[in-house]
Amino acid sequence: MKKHLLTAIIVLLTAAGMAQENCYWVFFTDKNNTQFDPYTYFDAKAIERYQKCGADLYDISNYPLNNEYINTVDGYATEVYGESRWLNAIGISTTPENAMLIEQLPYVAKIQEIVSNGTLASTETSLQGTSTAEHPETAEILTDQLKRFGGQHFVDKGIDGKGLRICVMDGGFPSVNTHPAFKHLRDNHQILKTYNFPNKKEDVYGWSTHGTMVLSCIAGINEEGQKMGLATGAEFLLARTEIDPEPFIEEVWWAQGAEWADKNGADIINSSLGYGKDRHWTKDMDGTSYVAKAANKAAEKGILICNSAGNEGDDSRWMTIITPADAENVLTVGGIEDDLEDYDHIDFSSYGPTADKRLKPNVVAFGHALVANPSNGKFTDAYGTSFSSPLTAGFAACAWQTHRELTALQMKAEIEKSADLYPYFDYAYGYGVPQAAYFTGDLKPAERSFNLVQEKDGVRIAIPEIIENQDVFFNIEGADGVLLGYYKTTPDSTGFILKNKDFGQGKKLNVCYNGFTDSCPITGSGDKVSISANNLRLYGNDGTFQKVKKEGWQKTWFFQYDYNLGNDVWNGFNRHFAFGRRHFYGKTYKVGFGWGLDWNRFVAKNSLGINDRTTTMRQMQFRLEVLQRIVFHRIGVNWDLGAYGGINITRRVKLYDKMAYLDADSQPVDPAPYNEEVTTLFTGCKAMNLWEYGATTRLSYTFSNAINVGVYGSYRFSNIITKPDNLIGNTNPSPWNFGIEIEIMP
């Protein structure tokens, strides 16, 4: 009993230790007794930007925080991670008890736990040393990622982002100070400042390779002299705001990084990261997160923010973009396949709209690009919406160079207008891919390529001439501007008809083909399109809605195989096998329950010298469990703590010819006189307990968001053997089991 109690205490203390400290935003009520001089605080380029967009240099958001407030809160905190002028808040770690005390301070407006987990928006990186000369197929990716924008129009006119300043916020920039892709930036002193927010120092040339690859998509040049990004003439600020792993506080560093970019005169921020399904529900993606508020604040101060839409597109439980891509004033960039002829959404790129039904993404670019390889000074290709955003940020710098009189919000609108689907939009492609010709004056007006013909039972999309490799895009728009469905299909020689009964009255049909867009009302009486846009996605060319799973409980199948450790009477490595189903609710701190069928087999030792064969016990058990799963998203690790209880469906002890019994003095005796008694005792398996209960712990790793593989252990608090007293010394098998588990996520 004491051993059981000690084990339970250890489990509980371990779980409590995990929850001992949390990270919080502490928001203050005011900035009393603070002073601020913008002309000594801001870079001259920042002041110029403020004046151009009409922002107030003396706005209270620019004032520093009250140091007395910070120092008092610091006394309750384990660590202060950073402060945000814009939010009038500091990020700290502390215990829940101290958080309650902080909230009672008279100058604290509120305290809120930080539950956002930042993720770099890449899905796959193949860091193999290569060069464009050695692999011409890779070079084609290079040229195509700029051709897709019509980037040659910028190149021909010498437009390279000169005069623009871009801040790249990421997880690190190894080899940027040595890689040949950035030699021109170093030689021309185009990297103006760097800062490492997690380490509170200027060195950023290490850590995650992600930032190096992202920067190469904005301004890299390969060994053949080809551009990898369009903004090779821009100036740069490099900010490390992410670490790996770190479950909570990147939100603080993101806000600090945006303020640092503002202070140092950035015109554009590229943020190839986001905070999404790891810790949030889709309903939270409505532009109200604190990083979204910081992004909108940066836009108000004249900064154009380019942010990746996210990599949740292939997760049917997450039908929206991530934050801060959900912010109204952010230029959110989705991903498409790297193809100049076909126009295909790349499967992992997140779909819009926002939770409150606003249009996202705004535009798209390649989600597969050639990037600098930090490990060997060469180049490689990589997948992710991480790369669509910097490709667009480089484009934006060149576009802005042609119209420096525009504010950030005006430039965002112009980039949308330049896209090759505009004014058509949908939640996969936004307005399409921005085009350089729009800004250089080389864009030709689109010619009418189809007609919308009202017929008795619907609308016919009549296409006089089929254009090779051109798809028809069309959507159904409700009266509130929210799309009820959107499609992409390959037309045939006769066009096709959309029947009123399939789409319903009071809605609008929008169609885009070969750059030309037209619209018409739907006048039929049908009303089949009644599903909200957040709950549908469209694939292929069959013109049908496909419902997706609603967010909520996540279900998994599990399979276990493990061994009992054994003891003096029972052999070690007795086998246990189980399979079943689990249901989880939550993001990082998941709660769940499960059920399953278990089979146990225990084999007695021959150590007493009388057995010439062994004794075996077998169980089949129906088991229920409750558990909490802590998910370390950045490293793909899950840790489970739980308890289980089970009822034995079948209980069987198999007796062989001779069996070891002990007398009152624990000496072995001949079992023959006990045969009748044994037969009676084992009728209905009375020697084995009907119930079983215990605790479990599990550590697993997630592969491809589809399978968890790990190790686990369990401790049984209950006995298996209850009687007879002399059955092999009434010794129960060891309570410890250890083994492996595979968990499959449908």
Three-class SS of residue 110? strand
Exposure of 481 by Cβ count < 10 A (0-12 exposed, 13-18 middle, 19+ buried)?
A: exposed
Mean pLDDT is lowest, of 114-123, 382-391, 408-417, 617-626, for: 114-123
Contact 684, 709 (CB under 8 A): no
Q: Which residues of 400-411 are buried (b: 16+ CB within 10 A; e: fewer)?
A: bbbeeebbbbeb
List the domain range (segments joined by +) for residue 511.
Answer: 451-547
Whole-number pLDDT of residue 464: 85
Peptide bond connecting 106 to the previous residue in cis, omega within 30 degrees of 0? no
Q: Is residue 356 part of a domain?
A: yes
Q: Taking residues 16-37, what's their average pLDDT?
A: 83
Q: How confident is the model at residue 524 (pLDDT cuts 50, 70, 90)?
A: low
Share of the chain above pLDDT 70, in %: 77
Angle between helices 290-300 and 408-418 (to 10 degrees): 100
Going by pLDDT thresholds of 50, 70 and 90, the confidence category of residue 466 is confident
Q: What is the CATH number of the domain that holds 635?
A: 2.40.160.20
Q: Give the largest CA-CA distance in the chain.
A: 106
- Average pLDDT of the chain to the nearest whole number: 81
Task: Say what the pLDDT of residue 633 is.
Answer: 63
Residue with the bigger pLDDT between 538 and 668: it is 668
Q: How many residues does the chain have?
A: 746
Residue 10 in any domain: the answer is no
CATH number of 34's domain:
3.30.70
The two structure tokens encoding residue 388? 């669509």
Whole-number pLDDT of residue 650? 76
User: Does 3 map to a domain?
Assistant: no
Average pLDDT over residues 350-375: 92
Q: Are strands 451-455 and 483-489 parallel, antiparallel or unpaired?
A: unpaired
Residue, of 267 and 616, whose pLDDT is higher: 267
pLDDT tens sequence across 579-599: 999 988 876 678 888 998 988
Residue 421 and residue 290 share a domain? yes
Same domain, 27 and 91: yes
Same domain, 455 and 602: no
Residues 527, 669, single domain; the answer is no
Task: Indicate if 155 and 234 belong to the same structural domain.
Answer: yes
Q: Kindly report which listed range (116-125, 127-136, 550-559, 637-646) carries the lowest average pLDDT score.
A: 127-136
Q: Tell me whether residue 491 is in a domain.
A: yes
Mean pLDDT of 152-178: 95
Query: How far apart, in whole angstroms, are the C-alpha atoms of residue 356 and residue 275?
Result: 17
Q: Is residue 158 part of a domain?
A: yes
- High-pLDDT (> 90) share of the chain, %: 48
* Whether residue 383 sits in one domain with residue 457: no
Looking at the domain assignment, is residue 655 inside a domain?
Answer: yes
Checking if the pLDDT of 668 tops 70, the result is no
pLDDT at 688: 74
Q: Which of 413, 440, 467 is the last residue of a domain?
A: 440
Top pLDDT among 282 and 634 is at 282
- pLDDT band, very low/low/confident/very high, at 505 (cuts 50, 70, 90): low
Q: Which two tokens stand for residue 282?
A: 């889709």
Parallel/antiparallel/unpaired status of strands 331-336 and 363-366: parallel
User: What is this structure's pTM?
Assistant: 0.76
The answer to whether residues 26 and 126 belong to one domain is no
- Of 440, 460, 491, the position where a domain reaches its end is 440
Q: Is residue 746 reached through a cis peptide bond, with omega within 30 degrees of 0 on the bond before it?
A: no
* Position with higher pLDDT, 669 vs 544: 669
Distance CA 35, CA 500 (A): 64
- In this prediction, residue 565 has a pLDDT band, given cuts at 50, 70 and 90, of confident
Measured CA angle at 599 (ends 597, 604), to 5 deg: 160
The answer on 502 and 515 residing in a single domain is yes
Domain count, the chain: 4
Same domain, 646 and 565: yes
- Whether the pLDDT of residue 267 is over 70: the answer is yes
Judgement on whether residues 287 and 189 belong to the same structural domain of the protein: yes
Is 4 domain-assigned? no
Binned at pLDDT 50, 70 and 90, residue 493 comes out as low
Burial-class residue 688 by CB neighbours within 10 Å (0-12, 13-18, 19+): buried
Contacts of 471 (CB under 8 A, 6+ apart): 342, 343, 488, 489, 490, 491, 513
| Sign of the four-CA dihedral 416, 236, 295, 347 | positive
The enclosing domain of 474 has a CATH number of 2.60.40
298 and 424 in a single domain? The answer is yes
pLDDT of residue 169: 96
pLDDT tens-place string over residues 36-61? 999 999 999 999 999 999 999 999 99
- HEC readout, 518-541: EEEEECCCCCCCCCCHHHEECCCC
Q: What is the pLDDT of residue 555?
A: 86
Is residue 382 within 8 A of residue 122, CB to CB? The reply is yes
Supply the CATH number for residue 249's domain.
Answer: 3.40.50.200
Note whether residue 12 is domain-resident: no
Decide: 274 and 119 in contact? Cβ < 8 Å.
Answer: yes
Residues 68-90: tens digit of each pLDDT: 999 999 999 999 989 999 999 99
Give the pLDDT of residue 406: 96
What is the pLDDT averaged over residues 480-497? Answer: 76
User: What is the radius of gyration, based on Cα positions, of the chain?
Assistant: 32
- Look at residue 20 in the predicted model and tell me its pLDDT: 62
Q: What is the DSSP letter of 349?
A: S
- Choose from 126-130, 253-257, 600-604 the range with maximum mean pLDDT: 253-257
92: tokens are: 């700290």
The last residue of one of the domains, among 113, 142, 175, is: 113
| 240 and 375 belong to one structural domain | yes
